[in-house]
Amino acid sequence: MNTENTTLMRAARESLKGQWGLAIGTFLIFTLLTSAPGSVRAHGSFLTISSTLTLIIGGPLSLGAAIFALTISRGKEARLEQIFQGFNNFSNAFVAYLLLALYILLWTLLLIIPGIIAALGYSMTFYIIADDPNIKPQDALNKSKTMMNGHKLKLFYLGLRFFLLALLCILTLGIGFLWLVPYVHVTMAKFYDDINGNELQFA
């Protein structure tokens, strides 16, 4: 399917009706957990520990965020603790996160644009693992690249829309990000279901 981005965003808002409080709380926890370790600025062992912790928990939390976003997107009963469900599939999530970071870094070292293209190509990885917990990490990345063939530019344009909304959030002293972050994640879940041929839920 090739649903317009505006329709995907509207579908995400519909799915979030009555779920905003839960979604905001869940993704606030997600943001704090994923950003706090990397925010430490120190010398020597403290910075090393911080970077290592980010690598360790980044994958499972990203998988948990995908599980939670897909649950809301598909009109099912979402729960805050789903953000931690990625730890039940720790090895796959951890390896996928490492490979994702490595591949994007290597492409970025060539030029910025190849790095952006790589990031777009691998963007569906954790949604794929959320749907198929037994898939191997490399297979998930390969499947994401295949799924994103012909859809990268569309996702790039979607990202630009959210970038403009992020600029508006800055004008609210950052408060708007409480709504924007879950909005982005649920819209991405809609995007995944759309290119995967799944029927979109609008409520």
Parse the chain into domains and list their residue ranges.
Answer: 5-195
Per the CB < 8 A criterion, the answer to whether 68 and 83 are in contact is yes
Neighbours of 176 (CB within 10 A): 17
Q: Is 108 helix (H, G, I), strand (E, B) or coil?
A: helix
Mean pLDDT, the chain, whole residue set: 90
Per the CB < 8 A criterion, the answer to whether 59 and 94 are in contact is yes
pLDDT of residue 56: 87
pLDDT of residue 107: 85
> Is the pLDDT score of 136 beyond 90?
yes
Per the CB < 8 A criterion, the answer to whether 12 and 183 are in contact is yes
Q: How many whole angstroms separate alpha carbon 189 and alpha carbon 66?
A: 7
Q: What is the DSSP letter of 198?
A: P
Confidence at 202, pLDDT banded by 50, 70, 90 = low
> Is the pLDDT score of 127 beyond 70?
yes
Confidence at 46, pLDDT banded by 50, 70, 90 = very low
pLDDT of residue 55: 81
pLDDT of residue 43: 47
Q: Is 176 helix (H, G, I), strand (E, B) or coil?
A: coil
> Is the pLDDT score of 71 beyond 60?
yes
